[in-house]
Structure 1
Amino acid sequence: MLFIFAALSAGSYGGGSTSGLFAALTAWRFLLGLAIGSEYPAGSVAAAESSGELKAGTRHRWFIFATDCAIDFGFVIAAFVPMVVVLATTEDHLRVAWRIMLGLGVIPPLSLLYLRLKLKEPEAYVQTAMKNTPVWLTIKFYWFRLLTCGLIWFIYNFSAYGFGIYSSAILDNLLGNDNRLWVTFGWNTVLNLWYMPGCIFGVWVSDWIGPRYALTLGVTLQAIVGFIMAGCYKYLNEPSRVGGFVVVYGIFLALGEVGPGDNIGLISSKTSATPVRGRYYATAAALGKVGAFVGTYLFPIIQDNAPTPLRAGQDPFWVVSSLAIFSGMVAFFCLPISRKIPLMPRTEDLRHTYRSMVVPEKH
């Protein structure tokens, strides 16, 4: 599905009209999103199961390398490729550039398909899989921590996707008269590069102090930087200071990766039993994607309702930083994780309870 709908997006025609073209792009992108949504939880859960076979004390870092670090590297490439394509085609041929950009998206799924065919099921899954998982028992066991993970993921994606989509517009405003498209893409690439030191540093923090405290630390520091940016926005919002803005904003983004970026997927994939882990993780991730939708929908509303242009730049940082503080409190007080996350005991607890319900013990 990834391969097919990525190719169809690049070849969209829509009957030759502009409205038809956008309707076709919307349809293919929707179906492509379904494919991504199917692959994303499966890949993360497989990584979580496989990490149980690694040396204790290093499992968190390898899971994060395989998930969040890979995603963030994809963000960097996704910003860099449009810059190169626009430079190659020039802005006089953007009708060709956008098709090339979408067409290049066909290549990664092809390699993924080959790797998927070679990948074996993790040992933990083979040993503990259950054909029929008890729905109500699962809800009884995990409803609170699932809602906690989903809420934190919602807030994280509200911030990450909201700022991510409108970062180009923010930079375009900062760059002033230099309205060349490739320049905006270039600065956006520099911004996205800040994800990498954040997620790589967070890899070690998660193993050192545990994912719960790493998440809390990351969002707290991010909120502090966000409040500073909001207070100093009138000084940063100048074309002559675009470099300083990118650095401070980049630190803001990097701290988001140290916290929930690295750890919310890790926690969501390791706080349930193996037989229900895929659905548990997918539900938490779905709640996160709802946050992404809400963030991209509300960001322009927040800016449009600001009384002044200065407030239009400040208000998103006030809102997101306040939500980050709330997210940190939820993580610290509600998550059950401190340092180590056992996989097998959770599975055995669920299996034992299920068996005792189905076959009552004789006295």
Structure 2
Amino acid sequence: MGNDIKNINEALDNATGKFHLKTFLTAGMGFFTDAYDLFIIGTVIAILPMVGWSLTTTDKALIGSTSLIAAVVGALTFGRLLDYLGRKAVYGLELVLLVIGAIGSALLSFKNPAVLIGWRFLLGIGIGGDYATSSVIMAEYSNIKTRGKYVGSILSMQSIGLVVSSLIALAFLLNATVIPLAYAWKILLIVGAVPPMFVIYYRRKMPEPPRYTVARGDAKKAAENLKNYTGLDVNVSGDHEKVNAPWYTLFKDRKFLITLIGTAGAWFLMDWAFYGNSIMSNDIFKFVITQTGLAGLIRSTEYSALIFTVAALPGYWLATFTLDKIGRKPIQVIGFVMLAVTYGILALFPVLDTVSHVDEFLVIYGISYFFMMFGPNVTTFVYPPEVFPVTTRGLGSGISAAGGKTGAFIGTFVDVFIIASGLSLLMTILAIFAIAATIITVLCLPEPKGRAIEEVSRESQYITTKQ
């Protein structure tokens, strides 16, 4: 590896400092909001018919899933722009779209499902952009020893968004006589615009990550940004080297293509289960509750809050703080295996999906959420920015996230219809998906633990001297 590229990368690979925390907070607040916006819509969908909206089953499916297919567009677009224009040029713009989409959804829908779907599409583009950008930027500022923890922490902010969304929704439902549901759903949506407003400025002020700048051939600017943002002082010679790995490298290099199949494929299968189950949770819990109407919605929201708090949240953070000890691949395999087991139990014993066995259902279903988080939900996010070269890292991460959100969209849209045929059918499909994802993980993905990202991504093979 060239001297300047090597020196900049090694400085960051071994660095510690407050800049890690600053980068995490700037990126992580976006993921808190992403989770809130994506999962609060399930409660909103349940409220809308109670306040005079006429919704067909297809309307409900599209309102719940449109932001996810839009996230595919956002992830691919921002991922490519991240490499083509640079990280600084686009970082923060995704949150602008998210804010506009959240406000429009709340205030400018006019009881028209098509208009609400349009605003949710814009919001989803911003969410997809956040998936492509934040993981890359955090990975490029991280060191070898704690990279998994910091990149995983960004995704794990999603756990707080999950819990907050369910608790806020529950608070409004329990106080429907104080704040009528006709206003409550609007407030629930507009809350999602508030947190990103506070971090747009800080994202726009962040300098270009030095790893990217030096890889593009500007060692002096990379050293300047490194000094200003991290306090690290590295001497560079301006030796005119760069990483020459254009976007099509991901498809021409057989190893990168296999890795891309692994990152995008595993994420696709995981997100089908995660988003389908979470956004459609009210429909799933109908199998194990007797209440209907507002009372039924309150009870299902209580169950969601319980599972998110007791099972999902600790799973996220346990994965985050053990990634650099256990490794990404073992955690992902363990998670998928346990998903296959728990979904398989619910599929083989449909009696568990009934009112008389609600406690048993909640325990097994809760275990599935724990191992989804202490497993592939965190690792599929951490993997992409670690395994692709710096000049294609945005696109590789964007394609991987797009794979995940494609699965999320299909799962959320199709699950509405699958659940109508019985919960055991859905659990059978998800168990098969978990087995397939385990095989993909074993065959296609490397182990980045304890290795520099430039080593894992084989950047040295693409270094050339700039003429």
TM-score greater than 0.5 by the shorter chain? yes
- Find the counterpart in structure 2 of residue 215 from structure 1: 332
1:351 corresponds to which letter in structure 2? Y
- Residues 351 and 250 of structure 1: is their aligned pair in 2 closer, same or farther, counting only changes over 3 Å? same
Q: How far did 1:209 drift?
A: 2.5
Q: How far did 1:222 drift?
A: 1.8
Q: Distance in 1 between matches of 2:168 and 2:258?
A: 41
- Residues 205 and 218 of structure 1: is their aligned pair in 2 closer, same or farther, counting only changes over 3 Å? farther
Q: How far did 1:258 drift?
A: 1.5
Question: Secondary structure at 1:228's aligned position in 2?
Answer: helix
In the alignment, does 2:119 pair up with 1:25?
A: no
Residues 247-276 of structure 1: CA distance to partner in whole angstroms, max 9, x if unpaired?
220111110112211111111111011111
Residues 266-300 of structure 1: CA distance to partner in whole angstroms, max 9, x if unpaired?
11111011111111100110111111112123323
Residues 282-332 of structure 1: CA distance to partner in whole angstroms, max 9, x if unpaired?
01101111111121233233334x4xxxxx121211111111111111101
Q: Distance in 2 between matches of 1:144 and 1:333?
A: 9
Residue correspondence of structure 1 range 130-145 to structure 2 within 5 A? 134-141=246-253, 142-145=256-259
- Residues 33 and 329 of structure 1: is their aligned pair in 2 closer, same or farther, counting only changes over 3 Å? same
The question of whether the paired residues in 2 share the 8 Å contact of 1:302 and 1:315 is answered with yes
In the alignment, does 2:414 pair up with 1:327?
A: no
Residue correspondence of structure 1 range 45-194 to structure 2 within 5 A? 45-52=136-143, 56-67=144-155, 69-90=156-177, 93-129=180-216, 134-141=246-253, 142-177=256-291, 179=293, 180=295, 181-193=297-309, 194=311
Q: Distance in 2 between matches of 1:226 and 1:347?
A: 38
Q: Distance in 2 between matches of 1:75 and 1:145?
A: 30
- Residues 273 and 301 of structure 1: is their aligned pair in 2 closer, same or farther, counting only changes over 3 Å? same
2:117 corresponds to which letter in structure 1? T
Larger deviation, residues 250-259 vs 177-186: 177-186
TM-score normalised per structure 1: 0.86
- Residues 178 and 27 of structure 1: is their aligned pair in 2 closer, same or farther, counting only changes over 3 Å? closer
Larger deviation, residues 31-40 vs 111-120: 111-120
Q: Which runs of 4+ in 1 moved over 6 A?
A: none
Question: Secondary structure at 1:275's aligned position in 2?
Answer: coil
Residue correspondence of structure 1 range 161-310 to structure 2 within 5 A? 161-177=275-291, 179=293, 180=295, 181-193=297-309, 194-234=311-351, 236-304=352-420, 306=421
1:288 corresponds to which letter in structure 2? G
- Residues 296 and 13 of structure 1: is their aligned pair in 2 closer, same or farther, counting only changes over 3 Å? closer
Q: Unpaired segments of 5 or more residues in structure 1?
A: 307-311
1:11 corresponds to which letter in structure 2? L
Residues 62-103 of structure 1: CA distance to partner in whole angstroms, max 9, x if unpaired?
221122x11122122122211112223339821111111111
- Residues 27 and 49 of structure 1: is their aligned pair in 2 closer, same or farther, counting only changes over 3 Å? same
Q: How far did 1:133 drift?
A: 5.2
In the alignment, does 2:465 pair up with 1:351?
A: no
1:225 corresponds to which letter in structure 2? T
How many percent of aligned residue pairs carry the same amino acid?
27
Q: How far did 1:118 drift?
A: 4.2
Q: Distance in 1 between matches of 2:438 and 2:423?
A: 24
1:330 corresponds to which letter in structure 2? I
1:110 corresponds to which letter in structure 2? M
2:211 corresponds to which letter in structure 1? A
The question of whether the paired residues in 2 share the 8 Å contact of 1:65 and 1:203 is answered with yes
- Find the counterpart in structure 2 of residue 309 from structure 1: none
Question: Secondary structure at 2:138's aligned position in 1?
Answer: helix
Q: How far did 1:13 drift?
A: 4.3
Q: Distance in 1 between matches of 2:101 and 2:281?
A: 27
Q: Distance in 2 between matches of 1:256 and 1:147?
A: 20
- Larger fraction in helix: 1
Question: Secondary structure at 1:89's aligned position in 2?
Answer: coil
Q: Distance in 1 between matches of 2:349 and 2:322?
A: 29
Q: How far did 1:195 drift?
A: 1.2
Q: Distance in 2 between matches of 1:338 and 1:99?
A: 43
The question of whether the paired residues in 2 share the 8 Å contact of 1:231 and 1:314 is answered with yes
Q: Distance in 1 between matches of 2:161 and 2:380?
A: 18
- Residues 182 and 58 of structure 1: is their aligned pair in 2 closer, same or farther, counting only changes over 3 Å? same
Q: How far did 1:45 drift?
A: 0.8
The question of whether the paired residues in 2 share the 8 Å contact of 1:128 and 1:347 is answered with no
1:277 corresponds to which letter in structure 2? R
The question of whether the paired residues in 2 share the 8 Å contact of 1:124 and 1:344 is answered with no
Q: How far did 1:232 drift?
A: 3.0
- Residues 133 and 208 of structure 1: is their aligned pair in 2 closer, same or farther, counting only changes over 3 Å? closer
- Residues 136 and 104 of structure 1: is their aligned pair in 2 closer, same or farther, counting only changes over 3 Å? closer
